[in-house]
A and B are shown apart, each in its own frame.
Chain A
Amino acid sequence: MQASADSTLIAASASRRRRTAPSRLSWIGLAAVLVTLLALIPLGFILWVTVQTGWETATALIFRPRVGELLVNTLLLEVLAVPACAVLSVALAWLTERSDLPGARLWAWLCVAPLAVPAFIHSYAWVSIVPGLNGLSAGALVSVLAYFPFLYLPVSAALRRLDPALEDAAAALGHGPWSVFFRVVLPQLRLALCGGALLVGLHLLAEYGLFVFVRFDTFTTAIVDQFQSTFNGPAANMLAGVLIACCFALLALEMLARGDERYARVGFGAARRLVPASLGRATWPCLLLFALVALLSLGVPFYTIARWLLAGGLQVWRLDEISAALGHTTVLALGGALLATLAAIPMAWLSIRAPGRLQRVLEGCNYMVGALPGVVVALALVTLTVRYLLPLYQTLATILVAYMLMFLPRAIISLRASIAQAPVELEQAAMNLGRKPLDALWSTTIRLSAPGAAAGMALVALGILNELTATQMLAPNGTRTLALAFWAYSGEIDYAAAAPYALIMVAASLPLTWLLYVQSKKMAGQ
């Protein structure tokens, strides 16, 4: 006893000699490792179930025609929708950022606003207007309209930051405007394009509601089918395994496509102000393009919701049900956002204050798990809790953990940006003035990064607000979120009764989307 107390003393004085930084680091490092281990549970569990199922059953369930069908569907969808999103976004972003398009700021906002409409509401609107809409082309069309802002945002931000000197040099060397665009501008957009395309691709893999409305089968819809027929049968787990492989393939593809060219500008001086290109006679066709995009991506959903609200009249406003759903959604969204942000603190802090190999591995793991579709995370957590952790089964704790795992990357990214802006000297000064390390951290850096934390929480809350599959599978008994209520009514083809929920979801998402828009402007220094 005495010996151990002595050694503690020695350790304490030793750490004091090292100016206490390492002890704080190890606490935070430990927390980051714990969060990462938690994040790896769903992935590990699906793999473990696959191994447990046995080679013969597993191969029989993985190598069957149905899986091939789903694979072809998924591949075609990605190949059609992602490039279409990219081309559309580059065109829209160039016009809003680099040309003299009238009303460019308004159009720029209208290009981000479709994000406020959950993908399944886009789809609900389209099948209301064109009832026979179905299959691959319908899936691709609605996906492009719902997801192109994920590409528009980074591409327009990158365009805003470009140094026109490079373009001037190319032009001086005799390149025409198109040649300059393809040889100088486009390569500089590569990182933004890759990142945005990855995001769109992952959303396509994870989306459920959108594809159910247009009757297009993907791995996610097939897993939900299996879940509804067998709860957590082996076939669902095997499909989840293949879906995980698809996600990783996308991640790897993005890493390859990103390349390792340098795009930074070397030398002193600031970039010249951009001179907007004159559109001249092309102005009208360009305005028409924007009007068309806004009509299809915003007009259609808003028109449909308004139409069903009118048709439904007052009786679809069942206020007791709606307020209960609003309450449940708020608790889940706030709880999930809070948990995700708390869990993101150690990782975000490490990546700014103590970057290193361990930190890179941990962060990579977290992004990987964030890339997994909700249905996979939920399937793993349902099976795990019902088999081994019964007290946590069907509890709020489990569903909040699921949200945390799914949306952790959003929280980390936002937090990291504002921790980077908080000077480390403040932390050191606080400790010199006698605060304990964690206390010092809390009263300086964490407080200063509150704006980033708030932005991260808003993004996580937005994700939870629109989440359908994991909520369906993990919700505690009696829970009914806005998305679940919308889904239940639209499943019974009672589109009018579903409309109030659609309206509320869109109305709640709009401010969060605005925040996203403002944030992207700020990152580009405007």
Chain B
Amino acid sequence: MKSIISTPVLCALAAMLVAAPVMAQDREIVVYNAQHESLAKEWAAGFTRDTGIKVTLRNGSDSEFSNQIVAEGKASPADVFLTENSPAMTQVEQAGLFAQVDPDTLALVEDQYRPSSGQWIGIAARSTVFAYNKTKLTEDQLPKSLLDLADPQWKGRWGASPSGPDFQAIVSALLQLKGEEATAGWLKAMKANFKAYRGNNTVLKAVNTGEIDGGIIYHYYWFGDRARTAENSNEVELHYFRNGDPGAFVSISGGGVLASSKHPQEAQAFLKWIVGKAGQQVLRDGTSYEYTVGKGEASNAALVPLEDLQAPRIDPHTLNSRKVTDLMTDAGLL
């Protein structure tokens, strides 16, 4: 057999297989990142600059990673898990795969942005909005509640990104506030009424071109686009539902250290860096336009203050991601 597969060929193959685990060195952590890649890259670069610890990002989405971590169990190669929304954090916590977050890290974040268990921690926050095309809708024509969008008069006029974790988190809030039956009914009406897009940016773009009158997204897509070229948002305004409506849901992005991490110290240090001054400053001064959650850390001045949004009171612990994907699969949205 030796002669048929020549030595150089074998060497090349072997070299590539050995080079495979790009990770697993000392002072290096693997982060399963479901946050926006640009934001996570900024955090990772700042952390590496300050501490010399290298960060390898694997990019994906919230519930993809939470299910992946559960499937990987103790063998997970990840050290840290960052999400855009909290339901995925809760799923990993319930599987018992998180380590306790260091107490001094917990102390850096306002109480309402972290679960009492201390298994994970809020790293940023974002608000649900109805982004609408101002040439198509006047203020008095706007929906009063997220639930109104189930009404036949909205047929074909609004859009969302149902396969994305953001929208699924909003549905989890709806589920928590209104119960399973109402949610299932609303999703069914949504299937008949809405237009599906992939990605909130794409929804924003479609609202801007007038393809749809409005869409359910998070606030920062609009701010980010306005700050760049406004190419996909110059015809778009934001409507905040307020009044504790499910559509006023404020979602918490979470971060946690896996119990199976082989570099727990470095992983905890990364989490602490994110919720600390330097990490929150990236949120305030950077291009992400997400809200800060650190104590005494103001958000970007361009944003509507979080306190004014009249978000519904929801314990992040109660948000259930698996039930949501099941309901959405049943409704034919996935």
Contacts and interface: CB of A to CB of B under 8 A. Distances in A.
Interface of A: 27, 61, 64-66, 69, 131-132, 212, 215, 217, 221-222, 225-233, 235, 331, 335, 338-339, 342, 345, 386-387, 390, 393-397, 400, 436, 438-439, 441-442, 446, 476-479, 488, 491-493
B25 to A, nearest CB: 11
Interface in B186-222: 196-199, 201-202, 205, 209, 211
Contacts of A229: 61, 63-64, 163, 165, 168, 325, 328, 334
Interface in B219-275: 225, 232
A471 to B, nearest CB: 12
Interface of B: 1, 3-6, 9, 12-13, 16-17, 19-23, 30, 36-38, 56-61, 63-68, 71-72, 75, 77, 163, 165, 168, 196-199, 201-202, 205, 209, 211, 225, 232, 322, 325, 328-330, 332, 334
B202 A493 contact: yes
B37 A488 contact: yes
B60 A395 contact: no
Given A229-B63, A229-B334, A478 B22 contact: yes
Contact of B20 (A230, A387, A476): A476
Q: Is the interface of A mostly helix, strand, loop or mixed?
A: helix
A337 to B, nearest CB: 11
26 contacts: A61-B329, A64-B332, A66-B332, A132-B209, A215-B202, A229-B163, A231-B63, A339-B13, A386-B68, A394-B77, A396-B17, A396-B20, A400-B16, A438-B1, A438-B4, A439-B3, A441-B4, A476-B22, A477-B58, A478-B57, A479-B22, A491-B198, A492-B201, A493-B199, A493-B201, A493-B225
Given A477-B23, A477-B58, A342 B9 contact: yes
Nearest to B321: A229
A365 B30 CA distance: 38
Contacts of B59: 488
A231 B64 contact: yes
Nearest to B54: A478
Nearest to B41: A321
Contacts of B66: 231
B202 A217 contact: no
B77 A477 contact: yes
* 4 A-B pairs with the lowest CB-CB distances in the bound complex, closest first: A231-B67, A396-B20, A225-B163, A66-B332
Given A66-B329, A478-B58, 18 more contacts: A61-B329, A215-B198, A225-B334, A228-B60, A228-B64, A228-B163, A229-B163, A230-B67, A335-B13, A339-B13, A393-B75, A395-B21, A396-B19, A441-B4, A442-B4, A477-B22, A477-B56, A478-B23
Contacts of A235: 329, 334
Nearest to B198: A212
A442 B9 CA distance: 13
Contacts of A222: 334
A387 B71 contact: yes
B198 A232 contact: no
Contacts of B328: 229
A132 B205 CA distance: 10
A131 to B, nearest CB: 5
Contacts of A217: 196
A232 B30 contact: no
A441 B5 CA distance: 11
Contacts of B332: 64-66, 69
Contacts of B17: 395-397
A491 B203 CA distance: 12
A335 B18 CA distance: 13
A188 B3 CA distance: 45
A492 B231 CA distance: 13
A231 B209 CA distance: 33
B5 to A, nearest CB: 7
Contacts of B64: 227-231
Contacts of A227: 64
Nearest to A435: B3
A345 B63 CA distance: 42
B201 A338 contact: no
Contacts of B65: 231
Contacts of B201: 491-493
A476 B23 CA distance: 9
Given A64-B332, A335-B13, A492-B201, A231 B71 contact: yes
B87 to A, nearest CB: 11
Given A65-B332, A441-B4, A396 B16 contact: yes
A212 B201 CA distance: 13
Nearest to B208: A131
Contacts of A446: 4
Contacts of A390: 75
A493 B163 contact: no
Contacts of B57: 478
A232 B71 contact: yes
A109 B211 CA distance: 39
B67 A226 contact: no
Contacts of B198: 212, 215, 221, 491
